[in-house]
């Protein structure tokens, strides 16, 4: 029932926008082009806007418009460039980074952003009572993990210090090649201490500090309005240090779980950009001349989480049999309209040249043999299993396809259940599932970001998987490697072990898929589908995607 109301709510967004557009004589896009307002489809209604609480892609897009880290990603190259920090330098052994805070950096209430804000915010992000699922992002910092685990309680022992208001010194346990990339991840962002403490304890989750009228942020945009399940409106910040570069006056984000309604909204001029589009529409747009459809490589993997604590999924033979009986080529061709690449590992190929292991293939004879060995010959005695997925038509189609494959090839019955985004997140976090649809998009371009997921008791390890050897490889051996080749060899060994134990069933490697109106400029495709709104503007005179944007 909840999912039905959610679909109707998503549809009502489009209907309301259409009525407004018709009544005023202009569509959202036409009016937005004239007024400098971007209308952006953003997938699910966000879980929240607290950088130290949320974990999803929809939240990432919103928070990176409201906040800024010490460094930001260039949208074209993904290379770190100045954000709150105007510059930084490494010590000779690359274990100490000194960040120099931009003296022009301001919170939206006018307060200066200081190095002390980062010390306090990282203490909050790492505090055991915070429950931050992304706390491990800061584990390269000296003693960060020890503080998070409760092994030490004095945060002054953690390697983050404010030398003065504009100088932040970070000490790492080992040289960390990707550390600067983490500074653009919302889990490392500073938050405004006085605002948070005004609305509760500093470790409280989902308090009113993130609501309109309360939020103080430091990014290119400020929160103006949040109407649940309808829209989130942000206006250009008057206090942002680089405000002269920001050319959009507002951005309006819409929760668009219903991809059919979202695509209709795009066609009727109510959205400049969609989060995705229905799979059956991909060939239609691909066939168009001067098509608004954009499909690009994406550093992400679509997979199913396995609850390894629940029978029958606690048997590795069952897990491997399920993985081997998925015909990924057929799935991608018939269901996904050739918009993805088959995956046999958690790490996408091509992350800095890393090639992941392939420990299995589509092999029905082996899959049936494993099921028989597990006690389910030709499905006999099978106790049943359920797939949980968050509400979206593409997820449903994939679940139905796999349900049918497993019935046809292994003679087992599988049920499927769709859940609204927040309910789904709770189910995954609390491990209330047999199999759960999951996607992981790289937070930084390095295999570490995917392999970190399955550390014992990791914040995003919702499988019950635990391996002391795996932990040692990722946490100890890889950071001590003296070259990229040596480090990648460690990752390969760890990932081979992971995929043999199979706490996940990889399905495919993503591509990013959007519909983009020709008036949208500065939206650079990149491997992480990273959106940096200070580079985006609207050109009302641009009628074709092949035309250059007016500078």
In a domain, 147, yes or no: yes
Quote the pLDDT of residue 269: 97
Q: What is the pLDDT of residue 21?
A: 43
How far apart CA 30 and CA 324 sit, in angstroms, is 50
Answer yes or no: do 191 and 310 share one domain. no
CB of 157 within 8 A of CB of 126? no
pLDDT over threshold 60, residue 210: yes
Rounded to an integer, what distance in angstroms lies between the CA atom of residue 91 and that of residue 166? 18
Query: Are residues 314 and 176 part of one domain?
Result: no
Q: What is the mean pLDDT of residues 11-28?
A: 53
Question: What would the two tokens of residue 36 be?
Answer: 């400098």
If you average pLDDT over residues 337-341, what whole number do you get? Answer: 93
Residue 421 falls inside a structural domain: yes
The CA distance from 204 to 169, in Å, is: 27
In this prediction, residue 90 carries a pLDDT of: 97
Q: Assess whether 186 and 327 both reside in one domain.
A: no
pLDDT exceeds 80 at position 9: no
Using one digit for the tens of pLDDT, what is the confidence trace for 123-151?
A: 999 999 999 999 999 999 999 999 999 99
Query: Where residue 392 sits, what CATH number does that domain have?
Result: 3.10.105.10
Does residue 548 fall inside a structural domain?
no
Number of domains in the chain: 2
Residue 19 lies in a domain: no
- pLDDT tens for each residue of 458-486: 888 999 999 999 999 999 999 989 888 99
Domain at 177, CATH number: 3.90.76.10
pLDDT-derived band at 75 (thresholds 50, 70, 90) equals confident
Worst-scoring range by mean pLDDT, 12-16, 33-37, 268-272? 12-16
215 within some domain = no
18, 97, 127, 128, 289 from 187: Cα distances, Å: 37, 18, 13, 15, 41
At 24, is the pLDDT very low, low, confident or very high (cuts 50, 70, 90)? low
Indicate if the pLDDT at residue 66 is higher than 70: yes
Parent domain of 79: 50-197
| 8 A C-beta contact, residue 406 and residue 378 | no
Q: What pLDDT shows up at residue 8? A: 35
Does 372 share its domain with 486? yes
User: What pLDDT is attached to residue 219?
Assistant: 98
pLDDT at 16 over 50: no
In 129-276, the DSSP E strands lie at: 160-164, 167-171, 221-227, 231-236, 250-254
**Tens of pLDDT along 213-235?**
999 999 999 999 999 999 999 99
Domain shared by 188 and 311, yes or no = no
- The span from the CA of 422 to the CA of 269, in Å, is 29
Please indicate, yes or no, if residue 146 is contained in any of the structural domains: yes
| Residue 80 counted as domain residue | yes
- What are the C-alpha distances in Å from 442 to residues 182, 184, 275, 374, 510? 11, 12, 17, 35, 11
- Would residue 344 count as lying in a domain? yes
Asked whether residue 19 carries a pLDDT value surpassing 50, the answer given is: no
Residues 261-284, mean pLDDT to the nearest whole number: 95
What pLDDT sits at residue 482?
Answer: 86
């Amino acid at each position: 029932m909840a999912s039905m109301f959610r679909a109707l709510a998503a549809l009502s967004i489009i209907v309301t926008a259409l009525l407004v557009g018709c009544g005023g004589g202009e569509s959202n896009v036409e009016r937005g082009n004239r007024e400098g307002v971007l209308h952006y489809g953003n997938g699910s209604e966000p879980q929240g806007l607290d950088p130290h609480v949320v974990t999803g892609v929809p939240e990432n897009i919103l928070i990176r418009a409201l906040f800024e880290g010490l460094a930001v990603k260039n949208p074209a190259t993904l290379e770190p460039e100045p954000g709150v920090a105007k510059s930084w330098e490494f010590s000779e052994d690359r274990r100490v980074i000194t960040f120099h805070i931009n003296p022009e950096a301001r919170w939206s209430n006018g307060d200066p952003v200081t190095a002390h804000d980062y010390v306090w915010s990282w203490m909050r992000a790492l505090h055991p009572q915070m429950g931050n699922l992304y706390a491990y992002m800061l584990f390269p910092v000296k003693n960060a993990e020890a503080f998070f685990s409760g092994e030490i309680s004095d945060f002054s022992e953690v390697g983050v210090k404010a030398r003065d208001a504009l100088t932040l010194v970070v000490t790492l346990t080992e040289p960390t090649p990707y550390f600067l990339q983490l500074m653009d991840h919302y889990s490392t962002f500073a938050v405004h201490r006085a605002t948070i403490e005004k609305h509760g304890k500093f470790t409280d989750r989902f308090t009113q500090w993130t609501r309109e009228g309360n939020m103080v942020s430091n990014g290119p945009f400020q929160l103006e309005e949040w109407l649940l399940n309808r829209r989130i409106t942000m206006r250009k910040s008057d206090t942002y240090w680089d405000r002269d570069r920001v050319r959009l006056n507002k951005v309006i984000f819409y929760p668009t779980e219903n991809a059919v309604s979202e695509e209709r909204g795009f066609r009727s001029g109510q959205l400049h950009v969609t989060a995705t589009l229905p799979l059956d529409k991909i060939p239609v747009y691909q066939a168009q001349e001067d098509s608004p459809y954009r499909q690009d490589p994406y550093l992400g993997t679509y997979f199913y989480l396995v609850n390894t604590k629940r029978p029958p999924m606690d048997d590795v033979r069952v897990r491997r049999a399920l993985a081997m009986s998925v015909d990924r080529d057929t799935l991608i061709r018939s269901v996904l309209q050739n918009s993805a690449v088959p995956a046999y590992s958690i790490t996408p190929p091509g992350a800095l040249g890393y090639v992941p292991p392939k420990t299995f293939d589509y092999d029905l004879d082996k899959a049936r043999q494993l099921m028989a060995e597990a006690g389910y010959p030709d499905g006999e005695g099978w106790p049943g299993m359920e797939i949980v997925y968050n509400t979206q038509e593409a997820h449903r189609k994939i679940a139905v396809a796999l349900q049918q494959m497993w019935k046809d090839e292994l003679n087992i019955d599988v049920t499927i259940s769709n859940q609204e985004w927040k309910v789904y997140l709770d189910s995954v976090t609390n491990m209330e599932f047999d199999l759960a649809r999951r996607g992981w998009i790289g937070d930084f371009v390095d295999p570490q970001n995917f392999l970190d997921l399955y550390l014992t008791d990791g914040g995003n390890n919702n499988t019950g998987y635990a391996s002391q050897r795996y932990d040692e490889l990722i946490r100890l051996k890889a950071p001590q490697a003296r070259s990229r080749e040596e480090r990648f060899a460690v990752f390969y060994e760890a990932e081979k072990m992971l995929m043999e134990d199979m706490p996940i069933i990889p399905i495919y490697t993503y591509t990013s898929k959007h519909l983009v109106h020709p008036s949208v400029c500065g939206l650079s495709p990149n491997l992480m589908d990273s959106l940096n709104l200070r580079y985006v503007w609207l050109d009302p005179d641009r009628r074709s995607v092949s035309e250059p944007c007016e500078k």
